[in-house]
Amino acid sequence: MFILVMTVTYSSLEQCYFQPEIMNWHFSLLFLLGTLTSVCSQFNFYPLEELSSDVGIQVFNQIVKAKPQDNVVVSPHGIASVLGVLQLGADGKTKKQLTTMMRYSVNGAENPPRAAGSKEETSQLSPDHQQVLRGPPVVHRIQFENLCYGVGKALKKINRLIVSKKNKDIVTIANAVFAKSGFKMEVPFVTRNKEVFQCSVKSVDFEDPNTACDSINQWVKNETRGMIDQVVAPDDIDSLTRLVLVNAVYFKGLWKSRFRPENTKKRPFHGADGKIYQVPMLSQLSIFRCGTTSTPNELWYNIIELPYHGEMISMLIALPTENTTPLSAIIPHISTKTIGSWMTTMVAKRVQVILPKFTAVAETDLKDPLKALGITDMFDESKSNFAKITRTEGLHVSHVLQKTKIEVSEDGTKASAATTAILIARSSPPWFIVDRPFVFFIRHNPTGTILFMGQINKP
């Protein structure tokens, strides 16, 4: 659940008191991202999406600094989508700060070269944009064209791949703008959001908060298949609300190799608070890709990939090798580039995996993390510039809230023959025991998109 609140006033920015002849109209924009994960190697050909996911990872790092002992769950893809929508509506320094943070523009280069792919043409791009252009020549050319002639086209392709039925696992992404009847937005902002984010516009009556909330919540309930039934309350909106932007993300992944319910037993989990908790632990013996790596300062940690049955999406888990190494010591060193290196270095092994069965719900205000990363003007009433949303009113963001839920259980497809054969192997396998704080990532492997990530300190 993502809530982004923007306010606007018709009065001048210097006006700080009420005058009868200058009516102060407040404009509220709520951005709600409902996320639910019901959880029972390929190379990344889209470095653009690596940049997109890195934005969310940077925000995550800021959050865990403030909450080192809490469970934290976020959707990097959702965060990048929200910032992308804002970028489309921003102008001036506000847009520059968003673009600097994201390292790409949804609208692509301002003055793209006439042809694509040459060294001379590439040199016209900024160093950060040049970093995007990596990979085989054919892929390089596609990336260059996407960058120069509309990053939005690339984002659209990425979203299409993420929700493709070829994944087998269920991923749905839906976007909508609930607008007050008669409220006027800039046409390019509306059409561009529809093109890039497939965002539809729906009319509601914010004069009646109860009815408006019912409409919004029913839409979210439908898009999340009944798993999220309330994202806004009547207190969140009033007669002065103009827009409510909603982005619902739903994911249900079934394990490729199922954890049998009869193997689930209570085992000790050593929480970040120093306490020992008895929690249900999933267990199975199968073949998984795993390995051990280290941070630049040589703190070692273990990694494992647990694929879902479509093999397009995986859960990656990392935890310190030594019990004495805190999770907070390795998290700052993880980026999409790091995760990409995991995918090329992990090797398949027959391993006994023990993993907590858990549900984690986290609600976080992203305002301070974003400000710490340099996105400040959009929160400042005197500096924000969202003229590309509307030119008749001055908008600024007052809150960015995210609520995310993830469930991990035994559910999956039927046990495969390979798994059955492995279960009767006589040799003693290595163990991968997740009995202390860990960080996880749910990754769409063909694009490198990080759909969800989190730190679990107490299942």
3-state helix, strand, coil in the chain (%, to 5): 30, 35, 35
**Residue for token digits 């965002």?**
199
pLDDT value for 398? 65
pLDDT single digits (tens) 258-303: 898 999 999 999 999 999 999 999 999 999 999 999 999 989 999 9
pLDDT at 121 over 80: no
Count how many residues are written for the chain: 459
Q: Which of 293-297, 306-310, 345-349, 411-415 has the lowest mean pLDDT?
A: 411-415
Which letter, b or e, does each residue of 263-287 get, where b requires 16 or more Cβ atoms within 10 Å of its Cβ? ebeebebebbeeeeeebbbbbbbbe
Matching residue, tokens 């984010």: 197
Which domains are seen in the chain, by residue range? 2-59+66-253+361-406 (3.30.497.10), 261-357+410-456 (2.30.39.10)
Phi-psi label, residue 311: left if phi above 0, alpha if psi -120 to 50, beta otherwise: left
Backbone angles phi, psi at 140, to 5 degrees: -55, -45
Q: How far apart are CA 233 and CA 229, in angstroms?
A: 11
Alpha carbons 281 and 274: distance in angstroms, whole number:
19
Looking up tokens 């960015």 gives: 400
Least confident stretch, 192-206, 249-263, 418-432: 418-432
pLDDT band at 399 (very low <50, low <70, confident <90, very high): low
pTM for this structure? 0.76
Beta bridge partners of 177: 201, 245
CA separation for the pair 399, 367 (Å, rounded): 6
Q: What are phi and psi of 6, to 5 degrees?
A: -120, 145
**Where do runs of H (alpha helix) occur along 255-314?**
none
Which pair of tokens denotes residue 329?
A: 């010591």
- The structure tokens listed for 384 are 């924000």
Q: How would you label 11-29 residue by residue, b for 16+ Cβ within 10 Å and e otherwise?
A: eeeeeeeeeeeeeeebbbb
* Residue of higher predicted confidence among 64 and 422: 64
| Contact between 435 and 40 (Cβ < 8 Å) | no
DSSP per position, 37-65: EEE-------HHHHHHHHHHHHHHHHHHH
pLDDT tens readout for residues 317-363: 999 999 899 999 999 999 998 999 999 999 998 999 999 987 777 77
According to DSSP, the residues that pair with 418 across neighbouring strands are none
The 10s digit of each residue's pLDDT in 157-205 is 888 888 888 877 778 777 777 877 777 888 998 888 888 888 888 888 8
Residue range 394-422: average pLDDT?
52
Q: At residue 229, does pLDDT exceed 90?
A: no
